[in-house]
Structures are given as C-alpha cells and as structure tokens.
Amino acid sequence: MVSAPPAPKFVVENLSVQYPDGTESLRNVSLQIPPNAVTVLFGPAGGGKSTLLRTFNRLNDLVEGTRYLGKVLLDGENILSPKVDLVALRRRVGMVFAQPVPLPMTVRENMTYGLELAGESRRSKLVRSMEEGLRAAALWDEVKDRLDEPAGALSGGQQQRLCLARVLAMQPEVILMDEPTSGLDPISTAKVEDSLQTIKKKYTVVIVPHSVQQAGRLADWAGFFLQGELVEWGEGKNLFIAPKVKRTEDYVTGRFG
Ligand SMILES: Nc1ncnc2c1ncn2[C@@H]1O[C@H](COP(=O)(O)OP(=O)(O)OP(=O)(O)O)[C@@H](O)[C@H]1O
Ligand SMILES: [Mg+2]
C-alpha cells in the first residue's frame, strides 16, 4: 500500500497581491507548500518572491492599502481573512531576513527574549529552547562559551545563524527565509544550508535563495517567478535539470536575468 502524501502546509489559490500604488506584484498564483521540506522561490529581481514570502505571515500588511485577492490556506484556514490574529499567525510562521539584526543584548538574551515576552518564565524551559535553537542553527559549538557576550560581537555569519536560532527558539511551524545568506562567506553559507537539512525534519521551510546554484542545492520543491507570475513549479532538482518551460530554461542556464 502506498501511503497518502502529507497534507500541504500552505495552499495558495489564485493569489494576486496589489500594492497601494497599483503595482501588481503577484498575479493569479496557485501552488502548494509541502510540510517538512525546503521549498525554494527563485527568479529575477522584482518577480514577487519576497511579496509571496511576506504574504505567508501577512507582513505585506505593514504597507497600508495592500490588497490580496484569492486564498492562502495554512492547515486549511484562510490566513487572508480579516479575522486572523496576526500575532498568533506570526508566531506560527517566523521570518529570517537577509540582514541579520540581533537585538542589542547578549547572545543568551537574544535567544530567550521572544519566549519571555510570550510569557515563558521557567528557567529550565528557556535554557532548553536556547540550546535547541542554537544547535539547530549549527551555532551552538561556536557560542556555547560566549553566551553572555553581546550578540554584536559575533561575526556576520554567526549573527545570521543567531537570527535563525532565535526564530527556531519560538518553535514556529514554518520558517520563511529571504536571501538569508546573501551577505555571508561560502563557509557560513554552507553552515546555514546544512542546518536547513536538520531543520526541515521538524519544520516547513520556504526560502528565497541568493542564486540559482543555491536554489538547485536546496530545493525539495521549487517555483520560478517572473514578473509576478509563477512560470513553473516542480519537485526536487527537475526544474534545474530538465525545465519544461523555455523561460525557466533560459534563466537557469544563465541566458537571461
Ligand atoms: N511596498 C511596495 N510598494 C509598491 N511596490 C512594491 C512594494 N514592494 C515591492 N513592490 C513591487 O512589487 C514587485 C515585486 O517585488 P518583490 O520585492 O516581491 O520582488 P522579488 O522577487 O523579491 O525581487 P528581488 O529579487 O529584487 O528581491 C516589484 O515590482 C516591486 O517594485
Ligand atoms: Mg526579494
């Protein structure tokens, strides 16, 4: 007997996103994001990748007047509904940005601040989730003896992994990452990429990579975006090895973009 595939974490149906100045940054996009996998959204600048990422935790709402059309279901519930509790949504769907911005506190405090703010006061719980988060982000060995140093004293690559660890400590269900390694050297980049292999066992990961090469390395699933349109969607490395659409092929082989 073949077991049924797991239910998708996100189902996007006919999604269009319009910014208040009339820019239609996504047009009629439909796709499904599977759980416990790395989904890559890639394509040239301005294609709508960040807009889609920011739709998954409604960060686009920070631009007042942004309009959503269509549906985005998280575990079957439409997160575009006006009734959605945005604080609760963002707790379930965490975001790691391109520029790491640790809080001006120690490494330890960076790791416990969010949970404490959310009402957690048990020392043992805070210590455990700090260590788990740092281990999952492949940072523990480098900082375990520096927990009480300011986070700003870490290297750029370490700060980026700290920001990832901080999101993980909140135990979200989905991790969104927008070009998280764009400022990192190849060794730090490899560490972040490696950590994703561990992280995806427990979480749903959606990432905008900083290059086609990185997209190809990471993708369990991938979508190619061009000027607000989802041009092609595929499993594994298929999109990179044997794209079906000419525009995808041109992009992955470096003929444009
Ligand atoms: N706040 C905003 N107001 C108006 N237009 C916006 C806003 N943010 C993004 N856009 C426009 O929406 C389109 C998609 O932008 P988005 O940032 O999602 O693209 P992207 O694929 O992430 O690009 P990049 O690779 O450069 O990060 C672009 O045309 C962009 O100019
Ligand atoms: Mg972007």
Average pLDDT in the 40-53 region? 97
CA–CA separation, 241 and 123 (whole Å): 49
Nearest CA to ligand 1 atom 25: 45
The best mutation among 25, 53, 182, 251 to test binding of ligand 1, ranked by most ligand atoms within 8 Å of the C-beta, falls on 25
What residue numbers bound the domain in which 184 lies? 10-103+173-252
Determine the residue of 18, 21, 23 to mutate for testing ligand 1's pocket, defined as the one with the most ligand atoms within 8 A of the Cβ atom. Answer: 23
Q: Which residues of 97-113 are buried (b: 16+ CB within 10 A; e: fewer)?
A: bbebebbeebbbbbbbb
Q: Which residue, judged by its Cα, is nearest atom 13 of ligand 1?
A: 25
Give the binding-site residues of ligand 1, using a 6 Å CB cut-off: 19, 21, 23, 25, 45-51, 63
Contact in structure between 176 and 204 (CB atoms under 8 Å): no
Q: Given a cut of 70, is residue 122 above it in pLDDT?
A: yes
Query: Is 59 inside a domain boundary?
Result: yes
Q: What is the mean pLDDT of residues 227-251?
A: 95
pTM (predicted TM-score): 0.94
Share of the chain above pLDDT 90, in %: 86
Q: Is 58 inside any structural domain?
A: yes
Q: Which ligand is nearest to the CA of 41?
A: 1
Q: What pLDDT band is residue 97 in, cutting at 50, 70 and 90? A: confident
State the burial class of residue 202 (Cβ atoms within 10 Å of its Cβ: 0-12, 13-18, 19+). middle
In a domain, 189, yes or no: yes
Structure confidence at residue 168 as a pLDDT band (50, 70, 90)? very high
Within a domain: residue 130? no
Residue 26 lies inside a defined structural domain of this protein: yes
Secondary element (H or E) of residue 54: helix 49-56
Residue 215 lies in a domain: yes
Q: What is the pLDDT of residue 184?
A: 84
5, part of any domain: no
CATH assignment of the domain containing 68: 3.40.50.300
The mean of the pLDDT values for the chain is: 94
Residue 207 in any domain: the answer is yes
Confidence at 1, pLDDT banded by 50, 70, 90: low
Confidence of residue 113 (pLDDT cuts 50, 70, 90): very high
Q: Structurally, how many domains does the chain consist of? A: 1
